[in-house]
Structure 1
Amino acid sequence: MKLYDDIEVIDNTNAHVYVIYNKGKVVQVDSGSKGDADKIINYYKTRNIRPDFIFLTHTHVDHIGGLAKVVKEFSPKVFVNKNEADIVKGKAKPEGSWLVRFFSLFVKVEPIEKVYDDLEIEKEFDNVKILHTPGHTPGSTTLIVEKGGKKYAFVGDALFSKDSQLYVNKTFARDYNLALKSAELIKNMKPIIILPGHGKAIEYT
């Protein structure tokens, strides 16, 4: 579904999977749950395109579950914060609240071997910036894209939205106080369009 010019969201995934058409490249943000992989792959195949890059805002299972299958299908470069790279590679357990860690005992995510540091994506585009926004997880990261005179922030779960309001979800945060500080960092970039992992996009002015 189209949200803004050159920005779409893949329908009916557990956590939002955004697709950005940027300077002739396709950037995917997050990868949904394991059961979302076929929806993501079908999105690209029906359009006869492929993702060049996948950017992970963090490594909870509802954001990386579909990653391995999509990577096997299209071989994109995957970017993730260095603090969570080993989680994607299957060498460490997911970080988060006790509830997140509990769920991770029952949901196994297939690892991938090769990842790139999140800051490396800034070298690919002159209109893309990385903002580290820890708290939800230690490596939670926001992808900021400037297009057409507007700034778009793909925040993962650093912020949720409900009823046109932005908030930090205390239940799933690893460090709630740090998450609140990160939320303020994002908001202080206004005017900015915030695209969360859950809930509707909000134009924060």
Structure 2
Amino acid sequence: MNYKNNYDVINFVDRDFKNVNSFLVIDKEKNGILFDCWKGSVEGINKYLEENNVKLSHIFLGHGHYEHINGLEKIYIKNNDPCVYIGADDLPNLYDAELNQSAIYDTEKFAISDKVSNIKAILKDSVYKINGLTIKAFIRTSHTTGSIVYEIEELKMIFTGDALFCSQRTTIYDEELTDAWDDTLRWVFKAFPKKYIVMPGHHEYGVTLKQISKKNPYVKEILKNKK
């Protein structure tokens, strides 16, 4: 996907496992920013970076469940220690297979080693200027209490992780988060222009908020029942 200002957004999806998405944003100088890193996409991501001479500078994680983080170490080591960002509440998930759910749902328990050292915990809503882009990180409880919605102003794009899918709702693991999650969805549709493009953690991507508000039955119900 080619966007204005000479940026490309490349999707890596594992169609054999939950349609997990990772997204690589590349500028004209071939600097890269990665959003999420499922192990099933690691080989493709690393191959693309190497073959296209892309320097990976930053990795942003949407939340701390295993299918979005368990490719982290292989990508990190292969690409000269890029800076890794994750919500503070989800930081322990990187080191605990029970918390990141790989001990429950995956055949391989995952926890990073001390080889991954360049990690920044996002403690509050923050703004980062990286590779000519303005990346805003918003901590919003949804799939986890440490979930992050990332905005790239210049691309009119948000990376929503598992907080918002284009056509459906994600699995609810913690019923206690339901009300806060619903509030987060209402916030998304209030905070960003309807023409913004949504890049979620699974399934379909590249759909506008306006389109989602019309096609996603759960979102339609949430927006109808405004608080």
**What TM-score, normalized by structure 1, do the two folds share?**
0.81
3-12 or 135-144: which moved more? 3-12
State the percentage of identical aligned residues. 20
| Match runs of 1:6-85 below 5 Å | 6=7, 7-12=9-14, 14=17, 15-22=20-27, 24=29, 25-32=31-38, 34-74=39-79, 75-85=81-91
Name the counterpart of 1:108: 109
Runs of 4+ in structure 1 over 4 Å off: none
Q: Please say if residues 125 and 139 of structure 2, whose CA atoms lie closer than 8 Å, have aligned partners that are also in contact.
A: no
Provide structure 2 residue ranges, at least 5 long, that are not aligned to the other structure: 211-227
The structure with the larger Rg is: 2
Paired letter, 1:159 = L
The partner residue of 1:183 within 182, 185, 188 is 185
Distance (Å, rounded) in 1 between the aligned partners of 2:200 and 2:156: 14
Give the 3 Å change call, closer, same or farther, for CA 95–44 of structure 1 in structure 2: closer
1:147-178 residue CA offsets vs partner (Å, 9 max, x unmatched): 1xx5210001001123xxxx432434562222
Distance (Å, rounded) in 1 between the aligned partners of 2:72 and 2:100: 17
Give the 3 Å change call, closer, same or farther, for CA 9–16 of structure 1 in structure 2: same
Provide structure 1 residue ranges, at least 5 long, that are not aligned to the other structure: none
RMSD: 2.6
The partner residue of 2:121 within 103, 117, 120 is 117
Paired letter, 2:21 = H
Say if 2:143 is the partner of 1:139.
Answer: no
Give the 3 Å change call, closer, same or farther, for CA 137–95 of structure 1 in structure 2: farther
Give the 3 Å change call, closer, same or farther, for CA 114–87 of structure 1 in structure 2: farther
Distance (Å, rounded) in 1 between the aligned partners of 2:12 and 2:170: 23
- What number of residue pairs does the alignment pair up? 192
**What TM-score, normalized by structure 2, do the two folds share?**
0.74
Distance (Å, rounded) in 2 between the aligned partners of 1:202 and 1:117: 29
